[in-house]
Chain A
Amino acid sequence: MSEVRYTDQHEWISLDGEIATVGITKYAAEQLGDVVFVELPEAGRKVGTGGEAAVVESVKAASEIYAPIGGEVTEGNPALDADPASVNADPEGAGWFFKMKISDKSEFEKLMTREKYDAFVEGL
């Protein structure tokens, strides 16, 4: 079972060995409304911590998705092209955005645990 951490920008990141999977939280998906398009990074793209990695477009807004930790993108979720609505249906599962090879695992440890993130959302 991989570990999952969260950011104050409402991204989740799960780590399996050195490969991390990134998506947006259920809370973020609900705030955005119906997602109509996701612009994903191409494999091989290097992103720094907090760097812009993807763009999610809903009927209400278009927002940047930031890389929770720095690394190199290995793939974008191919299913989102045909079915961007899976971001709403299963944001923390099938609606993942991209996978990346992370460079520094200690960055991961610094992010919020589920408990902390839930408390953070509670306080919003």
Chain B
Amino acid sequence: MRYLPLTPNDREQMLAKIGAKDIDALFRDVPKAAVVGREAFDLPDTQGEMDVDRALTRMAAKNVAAGSVPFFCGAGAYRHHIPASVDHLIQRSEFLTSYTPYQPEIAQGTLQYLFEFQTQVALLTGMEVANASLYDGSTATAEGVLMAQRVTKRAKAILSGGLHPHYSAAVETVANLSGQVVRAPTIPGRADDIAAMIDDETACVVVQSPDVFGMIHDLRPIAEAAHAKGALLIAIVTEAVSLGLLESPGAQGADIVAAEGQSIGNGLNFGGPYVGLFATRQKYLRQMPGRLTGETVDAEGKRGYVLTLSTREQHIRRDKATSNICTNSGLCCLAFTIHLSLLGEEGFSRLARLNHARASALADALTKVKGVSLVTPSFFNEFTVKLPKPAINVVDALAAKGIIAGVPAARLMPGNADAENLLIVAATETNTKDDCDALAKALAEAVA
């Protein structure tokens, strides 16, 4: 089969068929203000390789790489150290095609690491089954809501006010078509009164802990309130390293856990590709989206791995499939599995403690600055401080000095007046004491 783009002749035929004069005629309804004209790009038709290299290198030099400055951004994406061994191992030829392994006879390596990955995710989240990953934490959250709607045959999803706004947006985009999505008001540094919102129509409550401000929540009362009304609790984790220190969502009564796995083995990657973790209870297995690898034996009785429960998936069940997720984040999930295997249970727990210690020391240093107060009384490796002036201005001022101070809450929740002076600050094992001292000093100057 040829795989060629359309020829000019193909295009002409298609345009003639629908009665459009040319390609531009297809886009004439796009508002003028939204149109980026060709002249805006001002690109030469051809250019030599060296010239292109020089031009792009010049542009790339304008970026400030996270590793080159004191860097305290979190809010859903975390900078952690990735040992060189991870990058080396994920590039082994056995792993090079990480596409969905439909043929177990040629994909035992891939299937085995996916099985290990599922085991790790189930252990970390405290759940009974996990799938072979989804695209990222936000889409995993949306899939969790759809799953809860299938399980409970109810329409309403209640999102906690501490859920990352990008996750809320993903849920609203996906789940609004199949049901109703309501969000509790956002109150930084407080547990919201979500239990009171649960009624007999509620399919699920979606609670993030640590939340978008870094605050840790006790999921138990929410789980109890949800279960009393026949609703499910979906626990969301955006910083997977927190699972090395905090009690697992499963132990606190969650029915579904959706998490972002980027912080283990994967770089910031300018926002993606990331890896969605998804785990649930055995009794909901058949309603779980995504690929699942299972252990079995071959004709000779030797241990082997296969994709399992595929009959419910899209390539067999078409429009009746459990979900439209037909692939996973293979390479990111491989990096996750390898890094976590290298750390081991004890190493992972130590990494988590180190993160919390760094963040605690930083919070102490920042709250010594006059006019700066801590908003989140309990946190893991990320916390929110209230500044005496708008956080966006402070972050810009510090960026000019080569310090990336964190994520202004107002950038995530524009229009929320309460968020204006809030700064979300993350500290990981990558932040040195010098980094933290530099931030505290620069912050003191900026708010003085």
Instruction: Please measure, in the bound complex, the distance between the C-alpha atom of A39 and the C-alpha atom of B312, giving whole angstroms.
Output: 12
Min distance, Cβ B424 to any Cβ of chain A, angstroms: 44
- Which of A21-29, A60-68, A85-93, A103-111 contacts its partner? A60-68
Residues of A contacting B317 in the complex (Cβ-Cβ under 8 angstroms): 61-62
**17 A–B contact pairs at CB < 8 A?**
A37-B286, A39-B286, A57-B286, A57-B311, A57-B312, A58-B311, A59-B311, A60-B311, A61-B311, A61-B316, A61-B317, A62-B311, A62-B312, A62-B316, A62-B317, A62-B320, A64-B320
Q: Total A-B pairs in contact (CB under 8 Å)? A: 17
Q: Please report the C-alpha to C-alpha distance between residue A44 and residue B316 in the assembled complex, in whole angstroms.
A: 30
Chain B residues near A64 (CB, 8 Å)? 320
Kindly provide the distance from the CB of A105 to the nearest chain B CB, expressed in whole angstroms: 30
Q: Name which residue of chain B comes closest to A45, CB basis.
A: B153
State how many residues of chain B have any CB contact under 8 Å with chain A: 6
Chain B interface residues (CB < 8 Å from chain A): 286, 311-312, 316-317, 320
Q: Which of B286, B311, B312, B317 has most A Cβ within 10 Å?
A: B311
CA distance A62 to B312 in the complex (A): 6
A9 to chain B minimum Cβ distance, whole angstroms, is 15
Q: Which of A49-99 contact B (CB under 8 A)?
A: 57-62, 64
Bound CA span A58–B317, Å: 12
CA distance A61 to B320 in the complex (A): 12
* B320 cross-chain contacts in A, Cβ below 8 A: 62, 64
Since A62-B317, A62-B320 are in contact, a sample of 15 more A-B pairs with Cβ atoms closer than 8 Å, ordered by chain A residue number, is: A37-B286, A39-B286, A57-B286, A57-B311, A57-B312, A58-B311, A59-B311, A60-B311, A61-B311, A61-B316, A61-B317, A62-B311, A62-B312, A62-B316, A64-B320
User: How far is A61 from B312 in the complex, measured between Cα atoms in Å?
Assistant: 8
B318 to chain A, nearest CB (A): 10
What residues of B have a CB within 8 angstroms of the CB of A57 in the complex? 286, 311-312
Bound: A60/B311 CA distance, A: 7
* CB of A73, distance to nearest CB on chain B (Å): 14
- Complexed CA–CA distance, A57 and B286 (Å): 10
- Chain A nearest CB, measured from B73 CB (Å): 44
> Residue on A with the closest CB to B322?
A62
Chain A minimum-CB-distance residue to B317: A62
Instruction: List the A residue with the shortest CB-CB distance to B286.
Output: A37
Specify which chain B residues have a CB less than 8 angstroms from the CB of A37 in the assembled complex: 286
CA–CA, A61 and B310, complex, Å: 9
